[in-house]
A and B are shown apart, each in its own frame.
Chain A
């Protein structure tokens, strides 16, 4: 076997801090924590990484992949092609080996002989008898199974020259409080490292060198940041129904509440979490709590959004603040529950029947997930309307390098226009839906505020300025017009778009959310070809005036998004009246994160098409 391996070795160029390692595992085999340990070790060496889980909607048995892009330049998007595969899944090993770029490596468990048809002569095989090592070294069946994963991480440390001390520190951190587990884990790492060092030339042509690129940064997933943002934003009520990929938002909220929201004197909870019977009840509970003056949220994904439509219309029309986190996954219907997409833009922007419109926020990284989660409660209280934070599975469930989370201790919650008993005393007659300030936002009262002033009847049926039922068309239209004005006012409280420095007035790129991770790489690559587009990252809906101005200032804007129907482009057309010819769509909707290569190729292709027809904005 080793002869075969040696003869099939292809000498490639050495790649330092710029390659992709992919782990192919069986779901439920305990690989996640080992793979996470690998990613974290590289992160702690100061080298930028972007890990991506590509997992099935399954508990045990189906294939799952963990892909880690390592890139010194900080390109955090996905890159196609694998430099080293850890091929641990017999079901997929053929495809997995085929995915390796020429000159790449295949690490596999050689306790079982590899079938001849799986041998390629343009890649290097790294056979390690993982099962045999574990059988010999560990007694318990569960350890024998789980430590196979740790052994290959140990081997990778020799192959890629991961600082072994970083790994042992990670193990100690991970099992703090469970000291019994530290030594066997370190032992497993050493076994792998030893075997690789004894049997192969280490390190390989892929290798890591310590860097300083991650100074000050953290490695976190978006849903953890979102849940924590809810704690900081003052949420006291969470109602939810379990749904991938949103579940970990509430898990995170619960985890940090247990730590940070227990009353010191009594040990009682300054929060309530209700696992509802379905998404309808989840949003209903949030609306009831929001109406009664608590900050409340629910977290869901596409199927839940569909179920919540009627209640979203109620909250819009009766003007109740709530925050909703939509961790988007692939639709329509059940779609691909464990894959990512930006496919709910239209159905969230105008959720529910009748004329409606909702505020959407588009975070692009975990720090923003934290900020926007906290800020969403202020915005929602201020405008008395739902705020939907549009994350996605890619951002929610994958760790990402980002700036540390930041909180200004001087900031105070903005509870919006709420009248207390003293203020009510000064008022002749209270009208819940009176636009006293001319900004479309009326004053609300909480139930129980004043013995005989400020009560009103909240309803989803047509109402006048005093909340009384009306079927008077003129009065109804006045309310609808005020809601339009309110949404215009809302824009003042939303994050503005983010622009690159202007270098061109011809070409622009417009995008939202997780597409952002590919943009730096696209720009660097295009610059080498002499193409220097300006960029606009849209961060909220309804759109800021500066969004329209960006289109006005450019001849052609590529609108880059991750869905089939160009939903962002449609919204821009509807809301900003931007001419179809000014926009060119770049779409990706296969369920995995859009790559810089795809964007770049689409731009180049479309430019050469236009060049041929003489339309190119030179």
Chain B
């Protein structure tokens, strides 16, 4: 590489509006000396009030609190409003806005190439439940170690409000179109296909969403979060099950989660029998507060039963729905070397001419 040929100073030619770089001098820094600003992305181009912007904000806060190194994250998405989200957080991380419905395969390849990064996949209900449903199913089966977020608004926003496959039977969009078909529930699907961490949340409930994001990032294996994220422009009517009103009124937390990063000494004490602690692979922990329904997220059948039972009552079960920490990820299953595959060079990969001559001899 001829670094000297690289232009040292180049004029900005950004065609989008630059975000102001101003930082408040007293802005708090985290354990690795970064402020919240260091976790932000570019200025959003989504509609004002879009649930997706709250997801970006929650990811920013979750990552900043966890002191994730932004550049050790890779953000991958498909196509649609949801898939724009990775632009709006962690601009120091590489991002990949791929093709519609195919984020899972791109994320799979990226993860195989370098197992040392954090992978955040962001998709939508059109992207993951319709055009990409096949890829979604198979990335779950393959146990890719990543956090997979579906920003679920029950509608196709970019093409002006058609119903999506997650829209509940009878739910109506702004134009009055009513869903005539049963919906696909991404969370129960993920549980059935073997995802080892499945949660559901609401973009409007930061208190619930942030610890779930943190737990999902710390979980080793495939972590899935279905985030109800209302589309203010096309699917926020009183008759939509994916609007703010219905979600606020009807989402019920099966579990309440606190996330305790690994470096923090656990000092909080709870009254005996009132909480459960789950230690994650990286040493961090999830504290589950006991709720009135005495929910156990380690029981798959129980999880499916609760979600479906609430659904019958028109309620949306949220929180950590299912967790299993004893599964292996793809790298463990395939027994790949400890070093990332993308770091291996000639020496490690090329068997050389002597071995080739031996092979030639088997073809004589």
Contact = CB atoms under 8 A, between A and B. Distances in A.
Contacts of A220: 363
Contacts of A277: 134-135, 137-138
B9 A429 contact: yes
A465 B12 CA distance: 10
Contacts of B325: none
A615 interface: no
B96 A426 contact: no
B346 interface: yes
A445 B71 CA distance: 12
A223 B70 CA distance: 42
Contacts of A290: 109, 113
B266 interface: no
A26 B3 CA distance: 63
A42 to B, nearest CB: 13
B93 interface: yes
Interface string B1-38: 11101111110111110000000000000000000000
A409 interface: yes
B265 interface: no
Contacts of B273: none
Contacts of A456: 94-95
Interface in B159-218: none
Contacts of A466: 12-14
Contact of A423 (B1, B99, B135, B349): B1
Interface stretch (A142-150, A470-478, A602-610): A470-478
In this complex, the member of A231, A234, A239, A277 whose beta carbon has the largest number of chain B beta carbons within 10 angstroms is A277
B107 A404 contact: no
In this complex, the member of A217, A290, A457 whose beta carbon has the largest number of chain B beta carbons within 10 angstroms is A457
B91 interface: yes
Interface string A409-430: 1001100011100010011110
A43 B74 CA distance: 53
Interface stretch (A192-200, A265-273, A592-600): A265-273
A280 B105 contact: yes
A231 B351 CA distance: 8
B19 to A, nearest CB: 12
B308 interface: no
A285 B349 contact: no
B341 A272 contact: yes
Contact of A260 (B2, B16, B355, B360): B355
Interface in A112-164: none
In this complex, the member of B70, B107, B108, B345 whose beta carbon has the largest number of chain A beta carbons within 10 angstroms is B108
Nearest to B84: A469
B278 interface: no
Contacts of B364: 44, 217-219
Interface string B92-135: 11111111001011111111111011000000000000000011
A278 interface: yes
A37 B69 CA distance: 60
Nearest to A239: B109
Contacts of A263: 337
B356 A405 contact: yes
A283 B104 CA distance: 12
B334 A272 contact: yes
B356 A406 contact: yes
Interface string A281-304: 111111111111110100000000
B269 to A, nearest CB: 37
Contacts of A409: 352-353
B94 A288 contact: no
Contact of B112 (A272, A280, A310, A470): A272
B96 A236 contact: no
Contacts of A437: 2, 5
A428 B9 contact: yes
Contacts of A465: 13
A455 B87 CA distance: 12
Contacts of B70: 451
A419 B2 CA distance: 10
Given A314-B98, A429-B9, A288 B108 contact: yes
Given A289-B110, A469-B15, A427 B8 contact: yes
Nearest to A218: B363
A152 B184 CA distance: 60
A285 B103 CA distance: 9
Contacts of A311: 99, 102
Contact of B74 (A431, A447, A472, A475): A447
Contacts of B1: 417-419, 423, 443
A269 B337 contact: yes
A468 interface: yes
Nearest to B8: A428
A292 B337 contact: no
B103 to A, nearest CB: 8
A284 B93 contact: no
A76 B231 CA distance: 66
A47 B111 CA distance: 50
Interface in A297-341: 310-311, 314
Nearest to A284: B105
B76 interface: yes
A22 B335 CA distance: 46
A54 to B, nearest CB: 22
B293 interface: no
B339 to A, nearest CB: 9
B72 interface: yes
Contacts of B336: 268-272
A12 interface: no
A460 B360 contact: no
Given A412-B346, A446-B342, A281 B337 contact: no
A267 B71 CA distance: 31
A434 B6 CA distance: 9
A292 B109 CA distance: 8
Contacts of A231: 349, 351
B264 interface: no
A600 B351 CA distance: 44
A458 interface: yes
B341 A457 contact: no
B57 to A, nearest CB: 19
A237 interface: yes
Contact of A288 (B106, B116, B360): B106
A232 interface: yes
A448 interface: yes
In this complex, the member of B74, B96, B360 whose beta carbon has the largest number of chain A beta carbons within 10 angstroms is B96
Given A284-B106, A294-B113, A268 B338 contact: yes
A1 B10 CA distance: 92
Given A276-B138, A448-B114, A470-B15, A281 B348 contact: no
A271 B350 CA distance: 12
Contacts of A431: 10
Given A234-B345, A287-B98, 4 more contacts: A218-B363, A269-B335, A270-B337, A408-B353
6 contacts: A236-B342, A271-B341, A288-B111, A437-B2, A443-B1, A469-B16
Interface of A: 44, 217-220, 228, 231-232, 234, 236-237, 239, 256, 260-261, 263, 266-274, 276-278, 280-294, 296, 310-311, 314, 404-409, 412-413, 417-419, 423, 426-429, 431, 434, 436-437, 443, 445-452, 455-461, 464-466, 468-472, 475
